[in-house]
Amino acid sequence: MKKNYYIILLLALTVIISVYFAPFLLHLKDIEYRMYLSEKLNSLGLKGIIALISFFALQLAIPFLPGEPLEIISGAIYGPILGLLYAQIGIFIGSYIVISLIRGLNLKVKKINKYKWLRNILDDPKRLNITVFSITLIPGFPKDIIPFFVSQTIMKKKDYFLINFIARIPSILSSTLIGSSLFHGNIWLGIFIFIIEFIIGILGLIFNKKIVQILTKKHRKEKSSNTKVERMESMSEIKCSALKCGYNENNTCHKKNIKVEGLFSRSKLGTFCQSFRNPIDETLFKEEMADEMSLDEHKVKIGCTANYCIYNKDNFCKASKITVGQKNAKYRSETQCDSFELK
């Protein structure tokens, strides 16, 4: 039901904005008006470009507003290529500000659990980049919310900016082509592109969740026990530690019961260690882990003791700031322990 409300709201905003700019678009049929508008815009020079880029950046801070009308105007004013370039610059600036502020001020996206299916995907480092690229390509997917989710993950900003730049090109270019076609009097071509983009966008909006689920389908479990042991051995090379932590059988932390370096950890996202030192015999430990669990499902009850880990202020480890036995721990998704003991 909420998804239907979202679709209705988005359609309503699109219609309102389209109606608001309709007189401007209709005037583009007049050659004299196009010449007048072109001279007027050229007189703005750099100020006009800066203003347009600023609007694109601001639009990222209000992600529920559709950006297509602004992209169409950008194409009408500066042409499809320059319109695309200015849009990308504005989106880059807006995304950089959003991610930097949320991470720098240790802010939390309060409604992030509403998109648990997306959050679970974004927190998997093995599929993170390809997933973000895929959902950014999906027509109709609310792309401007992605920086808010990325800010809550371990994804590097430079990786996101590159992925976002490439994946947004088709949708932005189609919008700037519409604007350019209308500006040069090719009304029917612009309308045709708009209708095609609108239909694809609606289909993408309705089926985006199913598309993402297909694109991010979990890998099949390893069938060979030798492969399991091999993977466990590679994971056991890095030893980690935490202060008092209590994990349930699904390797999810009990809320308000877990502390890592003095901070509360809400879920398994609070740890980045690949493995933990077990008080029992290490060989027996590996055999039990290989026999009793798949590495994709952490469901083993074991007590663990570890050495030392450094966590950042978000309780999320950063690879460049983690020291574990003179080595770096990379990901939070590789924990194996049900609980921790303070050494």
Task: Read off the pLDDT of residues 214-240 as tens digits, 9 standing for 90 and up.
Answer: 655 543 333 334 444 444 333 333 333
Q: Half-sphere exposure of residue 79, counting CA atoms within 13 Å on the CB side?
A: 3
Query: pLDDT digits over 107-152, tens only?
Result: 666 555 555 555 555 556 566 777 777 777 776 666 777 888 788 7
Q: Treating both helix axes as pointing N-terminal to C-terminal, what angle do 2-27 and 68-104 enclose, rounded to 10 degrees?
A: 130
Amino acid letter, residue 231: R
Banded pLDDT at 154 (limits 50, 70, 90): confident
All residues at 6 or more sequence positions from 322 whose CB lies less than 8 Å from its CB, including other chains: 272, 309, 310, 311, 328, 329
pLDDT above 70 covers a percentage of the chain that reads 36
Residue 158: the pLDDT is 84
Residue that the structure tokens 């007027």 belong to: 40
Closest alpha carbon to 165 in 239, 216, 90? 90
Helix ranges, the chain (H): 2-27, 31-44, 46-61, 68-104, 116-122, 128-137, 146-150, 157-183, 187-215, 225-235, 282-292
DSSP state of 100: H
Residue 85: the pLDDT is 93
Q: Half-sphere exposure of residue 46, counting CA atoms within 13 Å on the CB side?
A: 0
Is 36's pLDDT higher than 60?
A: yes
Average pLDDT value for residue range 308-317? 42
Q: Are 331 and 235 in contact (CB under 8 A)?
A: no
pTM passes above 0.85: no
Residue 51: the pLDDT is 82
How far is C-alpha 321 from the geometric centre of its chain's CA atoms?
23
Q: What are phi and psi of 276, to 5 degrees?
A: -130, 145
Is 100's pLDDT higher than 60?
A: yes
Query: pLDDT digits over 50-75, tens only?
Result: 888 888 888 777 766 667 777 887 88
The three-point CA angle 77-173-136 to 5° equals 130
Residue 239: the pLDDT is 34
More confident residue, 152 or 289: 152
Residue 88: the pLDDT is 92
